[in-house]
Structure 1
Amino acid sequence: MEQTWRWFGPNDEATLGHARQAGATGIVTALHDIPYGETWSVEAIRERQRVIEADAAMGLRWSVVESVPVHEDIKLGRGDLDRLYENFRQTLTHLGACGVRTVCYNFMLILDWTRTDLAVKLPGGARALKLNMNELAAFDCHILKRPGAERDYTPDVLQRAAEWFDHAGEEGKARLWANVMAGLPGAFKRYDVAELRDVLAEQSELTHDQLRANLVQFLKEILPAAEKAGVVLCIHPDDPPRNLAGLCRIVKNAGDIAFILDAVPSEANGLTLCTGSLGANPENDVPAIARRFAGRVKFAHLRNVKKDPDGSFMESDHLGGDVDMVAVVETLLDEQQRRRLAGEPTSTIPFRPDHGHDLIDDGTRQTHPGYPVVGRLRGLAEIRGVMTALAHQKGYAL
């Protein structure tokens, strides 16, 4: 399994040197400066590769794209779709020509990953990401004031949400807004309350079946170009895996994944196995999902969560949450060995330690939420230990 590290580009305070010190050799990145829907040129891709590979002694390569963003109009099935599809196809063609062949993407409507607290204090001073259901309900019902929002929460959560809102003060409400907004994709648009309310009202009209149909249409338009370019697309599960603020989610569980992979059969139609996203749904047996779809896993995000009965969850130590990480890693190693014995050309499965706690001096760097240096280094080291022990036990080469 290839050990990789997410890097947000030259301005990321978690540097390429940090990635190499952590033990990674593959870099997971994207051209975040290019607006959604525009084509990534060969020149821009090669320039990013040049930066990653500048110090040959580090032995780094651009292993995975995360992500080529899917324009909101594609998800909504509107606008100049022919142009957007063609630009996406051209981007995949250019990536393939440059030797970057794994592309992670998601199909979540406007709210991407969502947390309500980005700095939960842990014993010893570490900090973690968390989604508190009462705070999400306060955001939805009392800040956004979305019509009908109360139907999505239990009476207990609604009561605690009202209490939180009454005592939070303007500073607490502003912090909650900023925490939720931190999960918005891209850097080109941030919303005030009225703007987000309008966007959510419009997008909430899209039904589950309509959003599914728009994803299937996207795949039908894009996958032939991916196949020709030698690129695989791997969809990322919804985070969290539940309908959110009136928006439907369509990559929440094993049934959703099966539908997507079966809807447009292609070796280029794959899965990013995110143990944290899937693990936030108490109905998901993540090791079983890993086993069921092992042959379609093209990339893995390995992180862990601890869930509360009301639907809240906190990101935990990589080996210390509700997901049996050892079982997941074993499945990925078995699948990688199967591919090697079958002579498949892309047998190695890249993975990265997804998210991590802020540890030791992580607070001194302005890194993206969930992407500290020391916290991810610890996670990668723990997973590497599990991987090495299992491979030794089974007689597999890493």
Structure 2
Amino acid sequence: MIRIDLFRHVHPAINMWRIKRLQALLSITGIAIGVAGFVVVVAMGQGAREEFSRAVRVLGTSTVIVNSTSSDDKPQLNSAMLFDLKRLMGHELSAMAPVQHEYRTAYIGRKQQRVRLVGTNTSYREVFSLVMASGHFLAPYDLRRRQRVAVLGRDIALDLFSSTQVTGRLLRLGKEWFTVIGVLGNDRLPVIKLASFQAPDTSRSIYIPMTVMSEGGIDDLAFSQLLLKFADDQRIPAATPLLHRIFGASRFKQQKLELIIPYELLIKKKQFQNMLEFFLLGISTIILAVGVTGVLNVMLVSVNTRRSEIGLRRAVGATKNDILQQFMVEGVLLAVVGGSIGLLAGWGLGSIVASWFELPVAFDIQTILIGFFVAFLAGVLSAIYPAIKAAGLHPVEALRS
């Protein structure tokens, strides 16, 4: 019965829009802009939560990154820095992984693929909590003996060998041959970017000993990135000044280095995003209020201009509830149309915000439901008073007018 009533009231609502085109268009626009703003705020909040959880999953809360910002490809970090860090704060650290990467072509028979080659040590696995599908990760003796061994990301192994059980197989990287000693598991880590640091896609990377990549012994390494994992995140604030002093030492002054503390960057980024969300929420609320006022005005004008129609309907048997339903449906339908347009506009606006401010935005079913709920609520709030006023008109007085 309710469904039939809804369809019966849609046609009068459309007729009302035709008569009051400008007012209806302005009302729909106000609702659309307001809903679009709410949708963007919700999507930004969801995106921030997802980014935070991804970053914590990849790096944890106790990781610090030393990154070379030099424009050339020459590694800016070396073994001397590792020795200083071990001597001054070795008891604070649980893992220390130098990293150098480049791109090479991998060959297996007639198959070939461009891959990201990562030179590192045994601690890299601990920093990123990597899981093995087969074999083992780089071992200390692989670095000491400069063994030409490789650990493959899962997707690389499947692309080249069509299997993850490839331990002992040979692989050519550029002009050098390597023996596969392990394949990473399918727990793919998401790619994240913080400042100048970008965590790699572990499933599409190949890992070899740092000593092979830098063509030097353990005491003579050259690399462009250093990952430090502290025993717990409570030690980072006290260790940060010491890290700055180490990087400020005379032999490091000429090197362009950047100290990145992911957890602090995430907190600052989240604070900025919260302020932007608050700003957008305020503007959206104001615009939505204007849209609701517009719908309210259109509905009140509609009631006043249709008094004789209301009186005639009451005279032929329509109840107060019928009149109430009619005007509620008209108001809610007006808002839902505006809300639907607002959802599409919100998707586009969210993409622009994500691009301009480099902020994560995530649209899901929750965002869509919230958008429709806001539109529906706006329609109810704007239509309830005019609907009650219309239903309360006396039939005889309405016909006289």
Shorter-chain TM-score bucket reads: under 0.3
Structure with more contact order per residue of length (Cα contacts < 8 Å, sep ≥ 6): 2
Structure (1 or 2) with the larger CA radius of gyration: 2
| Alignment TM-score, normalising by the size of structure 1 | 0.23
